[in-house]
């Protein structure tokens, strides 16, 4: 299929269960073919953002009073709709964000899994606990309650699954939401909200506002938002936390960037190690938060590894996202491509030995897109900026190490701490890295990419503030309450506290 076959999406905001009339404030263009307009969208004004928050607020009491199981059942209907539309969603996503159709399909399936997980969780016990009291006649309950209104602000690179990681647990627990997708993927954001509406979620439980940072900031500044669930860059996450610092009662769950790595030990299975490195570096054109821009390789293996890695990188096909035979697609926009080229230049300045030169390419006949070929280089791990900062593109350093302690030092020498892979046959080494490296997600004999919704997804340092997404998000979107019930006929207090109303014998 060519990238140019579908008519543009006419974008609208969704507030209080109503689709507002369409406006054409900004266009979403396909990064594989900048001439292709995927859709035109309204930029929500601050007044519209406030209206969306107000509508979420007014829908909250009835939604939180709805049985948790009935709330979960709305997700069963949503799952059926996602199954019905999987192919169309994947095509729209491929056109809008440039990821290869095979990856887009996998992402829709990941979103579906989140929805299925939420549906199943409705009948499970993580809602609360019953625990003993010091007084035999008392039962003590720990019950989770929703906070209220949750703002969901998401990045372009997982425009379907990441919103569901946040909307799913938030809504299941009885919160209502205002969703702001990335300005680079408004069409897939709108499509997702259309499915929520079709699945019968009550008016006001899910609201949609569109726009860039300004719209996101208007949402964050609204004091009636109880929780902000944010996934995106560190810089924006920091800004959101700075604004929210004036509202100490607010929860901010921020999942941010990464500077991830694969550590290849000298006992590694060689082919597995090369494949793990290639997939980690170049899947999604290096634009995953967990993409590796460092492969830390034992010096005894380095020459052989560098040769095989460079040869494989040169063979990868970057091209039309709708052609499943391609390995990956373009960068998200021209600025993103320019940023990667700037980092390629910086690497050379910082002493890189270039193994594969990265440059602009135009693989789609008759179309101008934001494509780059992979850039691969070798460099010692001595604190160069390119070894410490997130690049977010097909740019990877092979860094040699001598001892396992060296590898840990190189891995940790960045302000991020998101994902790590270790390629080894030794359980002792695997454990050493597991204990000494700073990360949120670790993988052994695997690439450092990939997620499953029943696991927490998050990082440490500049990668995350301790509220992982997907299954982990329940902690951020609920607060725990203690509820103690006395089954006795008189009052007995813990700690031997006296209940006498008048003075008695000492
Ligand atoms: P981004 O930070 O530029 O934008 C993310 C979202 O924040 C967008 O919706 C954007 O409009 C909004 N935004 C921008 N300025 C804002 C402001 N001042 N106030 C409120 N909202 C604002 O990120 P991106 O380019 O869309 O995505 C790439 C980044 O996301 C990378 O750094 C990547 O590592 C990170 N990411 C992290 C994870 C994770 O789980 N840790 C997952 C995916 C992506």
Instruction: Give per-10-residue mean pLDDT for the chain (506 aa).
Output: 66 98 94 97 97 98 96 98 98 98 98 97 83 94 96 98 98 98 98 98 98 98 98 98 98 98 98 98 98 98 98 98 98 98 98 97 96 98 93 98 98 98 98 98 97 94 93 93 96 94 72
Question: Does 490 reside within a domain?
Answer: no
22 DSSP 8-state letter: P
Q: Are residues 292 and 421 in the same domain?
A: yes
In a domain, 207, yes or no: yes
Query: How much of the chain is in helix, strand and coil states, percent to nearest 5?
Result: 40, 25, 40
Q: How far apart are CA 18 and CA 25, in angstroms?
A: 19
Whether residue 211 is found in the same domain as residue 273: no
Written as one string, the DSSP assignment of 99-142 is --HHHHHHHHHHHHHHHHHHHHHTTSGGGEEEEE-SSTTEEEEE
- 169 in the same domain as 109: yes
Q: Are 282 and 422 members of one domain? A: yes
Residue 170 structural domain: 10-256+464-482
Which of 158, 188, 236 has most ligand 1 atoms within 8 Å of CB, for mutation? Answer: 236
Q: Which residues are catalytic?
A: 255, 289
Question: Which pair of tokens denotes residue 20?
Answer: 């507002």
Which domain CATH number covers 405?
A: 3.40.309.10
- Tell me whether residue 37 is in a domain: yes
> Residues near 26 by Cβ (< 8 Å), separated by ≥ 6?
40, 41, 43, 183, 186, 211, 212
Q: Rounded to an integer, what distance in angstroms lies between the CA atom of residue 354 and that of residue 351?
A: 9
Report the candidate in 155, 201, 199 with the shortest Cα–Cα distance to residue 176: 201
Closest atom of ligand 1 relative to the 181 alpha carbon: 9
Q: What is the CATH number of the domain that holds 243?
A: 3.40.605.10
On whether both 398 and 340 belong to a single domain, the answer is: yes
Q: Write the pLDDT tens digit of every residue in 215-251.
A: 999 999 999 999 999 999 999 999 999 999 999 999 9
State the pLDDT at residue 504.
64
- Rounded to whole angstroms, how far apart are CA atoms 20 and 18? 6
Give domain status of residue 320, yes or no.
yes
Tokens of 56: 């979420």
Report if residue 102 sits inside a domain.
Answer: yes
Q: Compute, in angstroms, the gap from residue 156 CA to the centroid of ligand 1.
A: 7
Can you give the length of the chain in residues?
A: 506
Tell me how far the alpha carbon of residue 234 lies from the centroid of ligand 1, in angstroms.
8
pLDDT of residue 3: 43
266 and 197 housed in the same domain: no
Candidates 477, 474, 473, 462; CA nearest to 232 is 462
Q: Best substitution site from 155, 284, 466 to test ligand 1's pocket, by max atoms within 8 Å of Cβ?
A: 155
What pLDDT does 1 receive? 37
Residues 288/391, Cβ–Cβ less than 8 Å: no
Ligand 1: centre distance to CA 221 (Å): 17
Strands annotated E in 266-318: 292-298
- Both 234 and 294 in one domain: the answer is no
pLDDT tens for 357-392 read 999 999 999 999 999 999 999 999 788 999 999 999
Asked if 135 and 492 count as a contact pair (C-beta separation under 8 A), the reply is: yes
pLDDT of res. 152: 98
Same-domain check for residues 137 and 268: no
Say whether both 53 and 167 belong to one domain.
Answer: yes
- Per-residue model confidence (pLDDT) at position 127: 74
| Per-residue pLDDT, 21 | 87
Cα distance between residue 380 and residue 296, in whole Å: 10
Whether residue 298 is found in the same domain as residue 412: yes
227 and 207 in one domain? yes
- In the chain, what is the straight-line distance between the N-terminal and C-terminal CA atoms, in Å? 89
- Cα of 291 from ligand 1 centre, angstroms: 15
Is 73 inside a domain boundary? yes
pLDDT at 471: 87
Task: Please give the distance, rounded to the nearest whole angstrom, from the Cα atom of residue 233 to the centre of ligand 1.
Answer: 4
Q: Which residues line ligand 1 (CB under 6 A)?
A: 153-158, 162, 180, 182-183, 212-213, 216-217, 220, 231-233, 236, 239-240, 255-258, 289, 390, 392, 418, 457, 459, 463-464, 469
- 51 and 193 part of one domain: yes
Residue nearest to atom 22 of ligand 1 (CA): 213
Number of independent structural domains in the chain: 2
């Amino acid at each position: 299929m060519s990238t140019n076959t579908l008519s543009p999406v006419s974008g609208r905001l969704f507030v209080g269960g109503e689709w507002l009339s369409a406006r054409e404030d900004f266009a979403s263009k396909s990064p594989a073919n900048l001439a292709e307009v995927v859709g035109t969208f309204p930029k929500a004004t601050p007044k519209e953002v406030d209206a969306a928050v107000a509508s979420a607020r007014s829908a909250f009491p009835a939604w939180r009073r709805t049985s948790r199981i009935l709330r979960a059942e709305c997700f069963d209907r949503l799952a059926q709709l996602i199954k019905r539309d999987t192919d169309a969603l994947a095509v729209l996503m491929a056109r809008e964000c440039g990821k290869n159709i095979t990856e887009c399909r996998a992402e829709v399936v990941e979103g579906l899994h989140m929805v299925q997980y939420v549906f199943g969780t409705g009948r499970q016990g993580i809602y609360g606990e019953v625990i003993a009291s010091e007084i035999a006649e008392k039962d003590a309950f720990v019950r989770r309650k929703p906070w209220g209104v949750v703002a969901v602000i998401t990045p372009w690179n997982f425009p379907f699954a990441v919103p569901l990681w946040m909307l799913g647990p938030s809504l299941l627990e009885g919160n209502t939401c205002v969703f702001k997708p990335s300005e680079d993927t408004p069409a897939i954001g709108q499509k997702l909200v259309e499915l929520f509406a079709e699945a019968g979620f009550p008016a006001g439980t899910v609201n949609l506002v569109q726009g860039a940072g300004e719209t996101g900031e208007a949402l964050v500044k609204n004091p009636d938002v109880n929780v902000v669930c944010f996934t995106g860059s560190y810089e924006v996450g920091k800004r959101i936390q700075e604004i929210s610092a004036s509202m100490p009662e607010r929860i901010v769950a921020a999942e941010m960037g990464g500077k991830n790595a694969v550590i290849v030990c000298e006992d590694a299975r060689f082919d597995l190690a090369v494949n793990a490195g290639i997939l980690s570096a170049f899947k999604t054109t290096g634009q995953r938060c967990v993409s590796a821009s460092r492969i830390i390789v034992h010096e005894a293996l380095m020459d052989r590894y560098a040769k095989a890695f460079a040869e494989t990188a040169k063979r990868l096909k970057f091209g039309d996202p709708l052609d499943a035979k391609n390995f990956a697609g373009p960068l998200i926009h021209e600025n993103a491509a320019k940023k990667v080229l700037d980092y390629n230049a910086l690497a050379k300045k910082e002493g890189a030995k270039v193994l594969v030169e990265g440059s602009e390419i135009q693989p789609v006949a008759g179309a101008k897109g934001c494509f780059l070929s992979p850039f691969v280089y070798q460099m010692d791990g001595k604190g160069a900026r390119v070894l410490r900062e997130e690049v977010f593109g097909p740019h990877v350093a092979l860094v040699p190490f001598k001892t396992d302690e060296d590898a840990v030092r190189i891995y940790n020498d960045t302000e991020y701490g998101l994902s790590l892979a270790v390629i080894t046959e030794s359980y002792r080494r695997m454990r050493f890295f597991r204990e000494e490296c700073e990360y949120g997600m670790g993988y052994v004999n695997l690439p450092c990419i990939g997620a499953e919704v029943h696991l927490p997804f998050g990082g440490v340092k500049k990668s995350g503030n301790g509220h992982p997404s997907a299954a982990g998000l329940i902690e951020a979107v609920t607060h725990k309450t203690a509820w103690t019930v006395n089954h006795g006929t008189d009052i007995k207090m813990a700690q031997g506290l006296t209940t006498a109303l008048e003075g008695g014998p000492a």
